[in-house]
Structure 1
Amino acid sequence: MTLLKSAFFGALLLSTSGAFAQEVTLRFQHFVSPASANPKHFMQPWADKVEADSRGRIKVELYPFMQLGGGAAEMYDLIADGAVDGGWVIPGYQPGRFPEAEALELPFMVTKSGEEASMAAWDFTQEHLMDDFADVHLLAAHMHGPGIVHKTGPGIQAVSDFEGLNLRGPSRAATLFLDKLGANPIGMPVPAFPEALSKGVLDGGVITYEMSPSLKLDELTDSHTDVAGEKSLYNLFFIWAMNKDSYAALPDDLKAVIDANSGAMASAWAGRAHDTGDKEGRQVLVDAGNELAEISAETTAQMVALGDEVIAEWIADVTAKGLDGAGLVASARAKVAANRLPAN
């Protein structure tokens, strides 16, 4: 009898431990170098933490450079359709599809802290964008650090210096502003930026310091210009998202692991990753001997006034399409103001 009981409980224990040791592999995809800031300081540490928190039961595999197929502009649909289990999305790569998110990307909307901007982005997303992203399971919403003008030749000193420049822009809001400044904006996902520079298609473009090393902007451009003050020339909105069926298929305890690594915490973490990368990327440009410039406060004020024109025109445009443009801008500004970090 004792032997029978021992065999029974042994089988029960084996069955229970086998269920507990269920392994799940999630394939996440992105479109940049694994050495760039977000993959290095957020995505990989996030994947490692999920694995550790699940005691090895969840493995997150990261695929850079769209290795699983598709283009950067297709990422949202690749996740929604289940071609990948999750990944990194720039909604602005599909102009007009997610218009409410553009409120955060308007000129001089957010501060130069990626962490602050990302905390504001998560709050704004919770209030305004959850319906827009209903096709995916949202893990984080975040923004990068300050957008910088990288170009061949000397840095920008006056608004007139933008006149006629062919500049890459990442989003509709950014290209609207570049157009207002007198440049010829060319909408372009980040993977195409270096080749366009090397072929002379572009005079430069707007992107962060942190992307400079992986895009070889220290070699392909000569100057890197920021605006004066605490607000960013432009910014870009991202989501870190998962396929809904992939999430739903997880047992409850593993859903809890994903949940614990999602939301405001993950959004702020992603923003900090960009801040860390900005410091590293800026130093690469300094070491290369490139020009790092800052537009004067007077010229920045002129640019802010032009940015206000873009904002007014954006409000009129989206309002005509049935959205509360003024309300979205007011809400974005309120979220930014409410998510300032204590001064060091």
Structure 2
Amino acid sequence: MTTKLMKTALTAAALILVQGTAFAQEFTFKLHHFLGAKAPAQTQMLEPWAKAVEENSGGRVKIEIFPSMTLGGRPPELVSQARDGVVDLIWTVNGYTPGLFPRTEVMELPNVYENDPRAANLALYDMFQDQLKQDYKGLEVMFLHVHAGQAIQMADSDVRAPADLAGKNIRIPTRTGAWVIEALGANPVAMPVPELPQALSKGVVDGAFIPWEIIPALKIQDQTRFQIEGADRTRFGNTTFQVSMNQARWDGLPDDIKKAFRDASGRDWWGKVGDIWRASDDFGIKVATDAGNTHVTLTDAQTEAFRQAMEPVVQRWIDEVAAKGIDGAALVEEARRLIAENASGASN
């Protein structure tokens, strides 16, 4: 090969390499969330999901994850950050913006969700297109999910009956959760979860309604002595979460890139997320008991006493959303039906 031909070949190869690199970085997205980089929500859910999207796109998509609100703001601002295009993607708690996602709240209600995150997530998937989607104006939902459900974690007090919570200050992230706490005779204290350890250590709250999963990430085992749940892992309501994209950013994507996201966010993934949160929950309670905390499982009778005390919350929600033209009773019926239909039994 002549020197001229060799230079031409090297130039062409370099151009192909540059073009390939540009092609690989054609679509970059910033995903912002409120927990730390080592929390299971990132390591076991967000990172695998992002990797799946990137692989589906043939390397054309890059998702950069920014934990712990490192792009600025507070957790309640995440929805507006996505809607306003400040960030491309968010993972957040729906209840950090109270009343903004009223239909989806059905999966937070006590005695609707009880103990099966996989079944609840699949129910959310099955309900989304026809019954929940209109909650999410300005957002393109990638997936919704719940965690394993609100358990009771107390700094110093054992709890075996609703009366044991009377007058206690209890942290909760959602308005429906606040109603549960009020129905049980306690005082709800709303705050994003990163603020919980300090609130417990300073006595601002006596406990929290929150799953076991968060124990290792925030070292809750050091601030509490009692972890309480109902029989058969029954919980006291739940929290809904979303991973969503700015609508304008989504609308501007070509169909093959949209498909990369959709293929990573299908029904099977929604169900798998439930399994991820169940496994994280099991690990969290082990951390607490290994630290010497007491894990209380209520008897069937004790669990029923809580169920009866919480049932008015369901009707309160039905009455409240009726003012917005929402048939809450129909949503409750459908959520219960689909949870039962999707129950695998494996996580009960």
TM-score by length of 1: 0.91
| Residue range with higher mean Cα deviation, 217-226 or 100-109 | 100-109
| 1:80 matches 2:113 | no
- Give the RMSD, CA atoms, in angstroms: 2.3
Q: 1:124 aligns with which of 103, 118, 127?
A: 127
* Separation in 2, partners of 1:268, 1:315: 27
| 1:329 matches 2:332 | yes
- Name the CA shift for 1:252/1:314 in 2 (closer, same or farther; >3 Å): closer
| 1:255 matches 2:258 | yes
Q: 1:312 aligns with which of 303, 310, 315?
A: 315
Partner residue, 1:300: 303
* Separation in 1, partners of 2:133, 2:259: 20
**1:22 Cα offset (Å):** 5.0
* Separation in 2, partners of 1:189, 1:78: 17
SS of 1:255 mapped into structure 2? helix
Q: Which structure 2 residues correspond to residues 145-294 of structure 1 after superposition, within 5 A?
A: 145-229=148-232, 231-294=234-297
1:229-263 CA deviation, whole Å, 9 max, x = no partner? 35432111111111122223333322221111123
| Residue range with higher mean Cα deviation, 220-229 or 265-274 | 265-274
For the Cα contact (< 8 Å) 2:213–2:282, is it kept in 1? yes
For the Cα contact (< 8 Å) 1:118–1:144, is it kept in 2? no
- Name the CA shift for 1:232/1:120 in 2 (closer, same or farther; >3 Å): farther
Structure 2 counterpart of 1:58, one-letter code? V
How many residue pairs get aligned? The number is 337
Partner residue, 1:43: 46
* Separation in 2, partners of 1:146, 1:97: 21
* Separation in 2, partners of 1:18, 1:252: 21
Unaligned 5+ segments in structure 1 are none
**1:98 Cα offset (Å):** 1.8
Q: 2:72 aligns with which of 69, 72, 80?
A: 69
- Name the CA shift for 1:277/1:343 in 2 (closer, same or farther; >3 Å): closer
* Separation in 2, partners of 1:17, 1:60: 18
1:7-56 CA deviation, whole Å, 9 max, x = no partner? 9xx79x95986885453221101101222222121101111222223232
For the Cα contact (< 8 Å) 2:162–2:309, is it kept in 1? no
SS of 1:62 mapped into structure 2? strand
1:46-82 CA deviation, whole Å, 9 max, x = no partner? 1122222323221111111111112111111111111
* Separation in 1, partners of 2:150, 2:308: 18
- Name the CA shift for 1:157/1:249 in 2 (closer, same or farther; >3 Å): same
* Separation in 2, partners of 1:273, 1:39: 11
* Separation in 1, partners of 2:114, 2:41: 18
Partner residue, 2:62: 59
TM-score by length of 2: 0.90
For the Cα contact (< 8 Å) 1:218–1:285, is it kept in 2? yes
For the Cα contact (< 8 Å) 1:121–1:237, is it kept in 2? no
For the Cα contact (< 8 Å) 2:124–2:144, is it kept in 1? yes
For the Cα contact (< 8 Å) 2:114–2:236, is it kept in 1? no
SS of 1:141 mapped into structure 2? strand
SS of 1:139 mapped into structure 2? strand
Identity percentage of aligned residues: 36
Unaligned 5+ segments in structure 2 are none
